[in-house]
Structure 1
Amino acid sequence: MGLRRKNKRLVVLSHEFVIQNHADTASCLVMSFLLGLMFEVLAKYAIIFIAVQYNVTYTTGDNGEQFHFYDYGPKDIATVFFYMLVAINLHAVIQEYVLDKINRRLHLSKTKHSKFNESGQLAFFYLFSFIWGASILNAEEFVMNPISLWKDYPHSRIFQVKFFYICQIAYWLHALPELYFQKIRKEDIPRQLCYICLYIAHISGAYILNLQHLGLILMVPHYLVELIFHASRLFYFSDENKQKGFTIWALLFVMVRLLTLTLSVLTFGFGLARVENPDFSIADGNFNVLPVRIGCLGAVCLTQAWMMWKFINFQLKKWREHVKNQIPKKKITNTKNKRTKKDLNRGQWTTNGERLLII
């Protein structure tokens, strides 16, 4: 979000007006939903946007203990919309009070300025999501029990898992209008639009197909790798000599791609295949049939292959740039060495060891 020019009067509902005031508009909508909770007539509608819906309670027959789980349905669209507005507000706060202040000190070019803002926003998001996702994995012990990836499918959602997915989908959906609000350069839009759509498709797919355990385990290490990359890019913009983070990112990137493929093949190829339930039912959330498993595994494999292809091209490009930069340095070094030899051949040495040139 650019700096606001209070002295400049903008035409209401013009492009500049919408861009400069989109965060305020989102804040007003959020406040209207929250104020709706104060009125009995509006509370039953406002709660659909704010609270997580489709609570299902199970009671065990032995001791009467109750377990609260959450299903999904059309009302989740309203919840996603509300938290998408919240994400727009947070995006504006981070941009105006953190990134813009740093940008003023660094005096970056337009290209670096755009990339700095992108990495700054994503670094905050990846850090928050990694900590949140890791805490869920630790609390539910998904990592210590790999069988939970396919055992008792379809899985019943706990509150933390469902709310995590709601916020993830809301964030990546909010990134679409931000391409307009942030005045992203035309040459950067296809790249950003590509990875935003991939995130929305994969996270929504895991949510709808009841693969939230697998999706959560794959998201946490992936977010860690992306966090390292964008944090390294931020340090690089502040000081171009700080490039060690990219080496760590490259190693972890390849490892996470292998981990993703391994867990996906294990889950879709072996785990879910052994507990296959032929009763395909959308109402029960059971999608454990061969065509769905093949489609999911194919989507994951194609995405990982595409990411590795982009990664290899990126590394090759950097290597070529490094080689091109080394060639002029070698020429300069060779020229200096030649001049030194000529000077030695033309020079004489005094008894004191001082070199005297013949002019």
Structure 2
Amino acid sequence: MGMRRPRTTKNPPILSHEFVIQNHADIVSCIAMVFVVGLMFQATSPVASLFVALQHNVSSTVNVSEAEDQVIMYTNGAKDISCVFFYTLICIVIHAVVQEYVLDKLNKKMHLSKIKHSKFNESGQLLFFYFVSAAWGADLIVRENFLNINSLWEGYPHANLGFVNKFYFIIQLSYWLHSFPELYFQKTKKEEMSSRIQYAVLYLLFIGGAYVLNFTRVALGMMVLHYSVEFVFHLARLLYFSEKTDLANTGFMVFNGLFVLVRLGTITLSVLTFWYGLQQSNQLTIDFTAGNFNTQLVRINCLAAVSLLQAWMMWNFINFHLRRLGERSAVSRKIKSPAKKKMKMAEEDIQALPEVDQQTASENGVRSRTKASKKN
């Protein structure tokens, strides 16, 4: 017999696919550090600040005493693209940190299958993001006093945003944009790609549309509602993978109820804002300079887009539960079917016998049944 070759742990070739996937967090963090280091030098600081710092500052101060109390305000613009790019890199790094130091350690303890492993990682990442976004958004609503429903449309256009408010939307866009390179870094299967790309594109379209059209207040309220429900779903999903069935079932029941309520709440917010509130200050034409998009055409399209999205989500929700009911009924039929098949086969065997034998066989069958019933 030949000798076994010793196992060699060779590193993948530099710049190969496997090398990039294994070291993508280090590579991306180095790229991000280039922009941060660029802030330290006078020659590169103006360019680096385009990526790191928020752009389109519209605050103007005359006196130094006023500058201390003034809240710095920002608006949206083309320079936000560079800012979104930088924070997309940061999201990739944070994604890798959560994956390596939290999710991978949990996966080793749980010994999940490949399919469950992928879904567990997805739910773990989204659970972290939804929790942070929902809590951060709720804090913004309280601080900015958006609990008053009239504030969703009063004072429109809401072109000027505070630092935290604008940074929130930049992070939202960056996170959903980072989902696309993560498909490559996480070696996502083709079967799972379509669904992940679908919801990432929808998030980008609706959040980006609200940010550009200055409908950030109503979008913030909708996101907090939606993220809170999604947090419950992914928490229940993680409990299910952890084999804590009772807690998972309770979580899914809570999610089912909240999902319907949030869909109704989202439609209610959109109707109140686009159909009733903004109609009071309706404009005939779009004012790009002031950022005022409050025309009837824009409002109807926004209302239709939100309503269609909620209807589509409810349609998928209902179809999913109908499919589950069908699967459960099919399983229950399979459990009952063997006994029925045995009875049918016995009757067919009796009918195949001559008449005299049929009578004796049927009598014996009746006797055996009566004996069995007496024993019971």
Asked whether the equivalents of residues 71 and 162 of structure 2 are also in contact (C-alpha less than 8 Å), the reply is no
> Higher mean Cα deviation, 96-105 or 125-134?
96-105
1:275-334: per-residue Cα shift (whole Å, max 9, x none)?
113352222111111111111111111111110111111111222222233334556899
Alignment of 1:294 onto 2:297: no
Name the aligned partner's letter for residue 56 of structure 2.
Y
Q: Distance in 1 between matches of 2:219 and 2:372?
A: 73
Q: What letter corresponds to residue 12 of structure 1 in structure 2?
A: I
Would you say the 8 A contact 1:52–1:76 is kept in 2? yes
Aligned equivalent of 2:59, options 57, 69, 73:
57
- In structure 2, do the counterparts of structure 1 residues 123 and 6 end up closer, same or farther at CA, with 3 Å as the change threshold? farther
Hey, what does 1:258 align to over in structure 2? Answer: 264
Match of 1:150 among 150, 153, 162: 153
What is the CA-CA distance between 1:164 and the residue it aligns to?
0.1
Gapped regions of structure 2 (runs ≥ 5): 1-6, 342-366
| Structure with higher helix content | 2
How does 1:131-280 map onto structure 2 within 5 Å? 131-143=135-147, 145-155=148-158, 156-239=160-243, 241=245, 242-280=248-286
Q: Does 1:75 align with 2:79?
A: yes
Equivalent residue for 1:30? 32
Q: Distance in 2 between matches of 1:208 and 1:6?
A: 54
Structure 2 letter corresponding to 1:274 = Q
Gaps of 5+ in 1: 336-340, 350-354
**Aligned-partner Cα distance in 1 for 2:33–2:340:** 69
TM-score (normalizing by structure 2): 0.84
Q: Aligned partners of 1:348 and 1:162: how far apart in 2?
A: 79
Q: Is the 8 A contact 1:206 1:212 kept in 2?
A: yes
Deviation (angstroms), 1:346: 5.4
Aligned counterpart in structure 2 of residue 7 of structure 1, from 6, 9, 12: 9
Structure 1 residues 252 and 347, CA, compared in 2 at 3 Å: closer, same or farther? closer
Against the structure 1 CA distance between its residues 6 and 297, is the aligned structure 2 distance closer, same or farther, given a 3 Å change threshold?
Answer: farther
Q: Secondary structure at the match of 2:44?
A: helix
Q: Secondary structure at the match of 1:243?
A: helix
Q: When the two structures are aligned, how many residues end up with a matched partner? A: 339
- Alpha-carbon spacing, 1:277–1:331, altered in 2? closer, same or farther (3 Å): same
2:308 & 2:36 partners in 1: Cα distance? Answer: 42
1: CA distance, partners of 2:260 / 2:211: 26
Relative distance call for 1:250 and 1:342 in structure 2 (3 A) is farther
Task: Report the secondary structure of 2:10's partner residue.
Answer: coil
8 Å Cα contact 1:26-1:88 kept in structure 2: yes
> 2-side partners of 1:315 and 1:60: how far apart?
61
Task: Give the 3-state SS of the residue equivalent to 1:40 in structure 2.
Answer: coil
Post-superposition offset of 1:6: 9.8
Return the alpha-carbon distance in structure 2 between the equivalents of residues 6 and 161 of structure 1: 52
> Deviation at 1:137?
0.7
CA distance in structure 2 between the aligned counterparts of 1:347 and 1:298, rounded to whole angstroms:
65
Map 1:305-320 onto structure 2 (within 5 A). 305-320=311-326
Worse-superposed segment, 222-231 or 101-110: 101-110
C-alpha separation in 1, matches of 2:182 and 2:292 = 35
- Structure 1 position 342, deviation (Å): 6.4
Q: Distance in 1 between matches of 2:113 and 2:280?
A: 56
- Whole-Å separation in 1 of the counterparts to 2:206 and 2:181: 19
Alignment check: 8 A CA contact 1:99 1:120 kept: yes
- Aligned pair 1:120/2:128, yes or no? no
**Native 8 Å contact 1:50 1:79 kept in 2:** yes
Counterpart Cα distance in 2 of 1:348 and 1:217: 68
Task: Please tell me whether the aligned partners of residues 58 and 66 of structure 1 are also in contact (alpha carbons under 8 angstroms).
Answer: no
The aligned counterpart of 1:20 is 22
Give 1 or 2 for the bigger CA radius of gyration: 2
Distance 1:147 1:348, change over 3 A: closer
Amino acid at match of 2:52: I
Aligned to 2:112: 108
Query: Cα 1:329–1:41, aligned 2, differ >3 Å: closer, same or farther?
Result: same
Residue 338 of structure 1 corresponds to none
Whole-Å separation in 1 of the counterparts to 2:8 and 2:253 = 44
Residue 181 of structure 1, CA deviation = 1.1
Residue identity matched to 2:229: V
1:15–1:265 Cα change, 3 Å: same
Contact 1:134–1:220 (8 Å) recurs in 2: yes
AA of the residue aligned to 1:31: M
Q: Structure 2: which amino acid aligns with 1:277?
A: Q
CA RMSD of aligned residues (A): 2.5
Corresponding residue for 1:345?
371
